[in-house]
Amino acid sequence: MPSPIEITNSALTALHTLALPEGVKVRLYAPAMYPRQFLELLRIYMLEDGALSDVFWWQQPVPDDEKGGPEAFCRYFEGVVLLVVFADDLAPMGMVWFSDVLPGQQADMSVWYCRRYWGREIRAISRECLHWAFVHFRLQRAWSMTIFPGAAVHALASGGALHATVPDRLWYKGQLWPVYVHRATLTSVEEARHGQR
């Protein structure tokens, strides 16, 4: 298991000052702050949204197959930096997580939002979360990959630039899909935050 990433007090405080849409809150998931059942609740939201296999498109079977169930889903999030996004009524809107974090170097970014929240607002939320990760982990670059065109647009709006498209790379749900690879830098995220992209 990867060693845990240190989250400083200033990083936690900065989450409370993100430039988010009104009423939206972003909180760091930590087992000491939330019971494990909270992760299981997020899994249920994802299942009800019909998104579980799409979120884990690159990992088949998904970390929730009959052999693992909720336990495998919870284990997946060990060693990642998980930010949970809440609406003003405290309902979870979605999650943004950073895996393979190498402070001072790079990280991989993934997102999931309930479909009812899709739109401009969540792009701004993802952009703010990505900026937070760049600042607090001193990242030089962040990567994201997807097979879905809508998610590729989300990555661009969050400050990423298309780095590569690998055609017919992945067999998923009965067809071949291209893989879109996006790369973000602190400069590209700041430009996106200020509407310069």
* 63-104 residue pLDDT tens: 555 445 788 788 888 778 999 999 988 889 999 999 999 999
Taking each helix axis from N to C end, the angle separating 120-137 and 186-193, rounded to the nearest 10 degrees, works out to: 140
Spatial separation of the C-alpha atoms in residues 30 and 63, rounded to whole Å: 20
Let me know if residue 18 belongs to a domain: yes
Contact criterion met (CB below 8 Å) for 73 and 82:
no
pLDDT band at 190 (very low <50, low <70, confident <90, very high): very high
Residue 186 lies in a domain: no
**Cα–Cα distance for residue pair 122/117, rounded to 1 Å:** 7
For 143-155, what is each residue's pLDDT tens digit?
A: 999 999 999 999 9
**pLDDT of amino acid 64:** 54
Whole-prediction pTM: 0.89
CA–CA distance, 25 with 89 (Å, rounded to integer)? 10
- What residue type is 156 in one-letter code? L
The CATH number given to whatever domain includes residue 28 is 3.40.630.30
Q: Where are the alpha helices (DSSP H) in the chain?
A: 9-15, 36-48, 52-55, 69-76, 120-137, 149-157, 186-193
With respect to residue 17, please indicate whether it lies within any of the assigned structural domains.
Answer: yes
Residue 185 lies in a domain: no
The tally of domains found in the chain comes to 1
Tens digits of residue pLDDT in 14-59:
888 899 999 999 999 988 788 888 888 998 898 888 888 888 876 6
- The single residue listed with the structure tokens 């879109």 is 180
Strands 141-146 vs 160-172: parallel, antiparallel or unpaired: unpaired
Q: Does some domain include residue 2?
A: no
Q: Is residue 196 part of a domain?
A: no
Is there a domain that residue 62 lies in?
yes
Beta bridge partners, 25, equal 86
Q: Is residue 108 part of a domain?
A: yes
One-letter identity of residue 40: E
Residue 179, pLDDT score:
95
Helix, coil or strand: residue 101: strand
Residue 103 belongs to domain spanning: 9-140
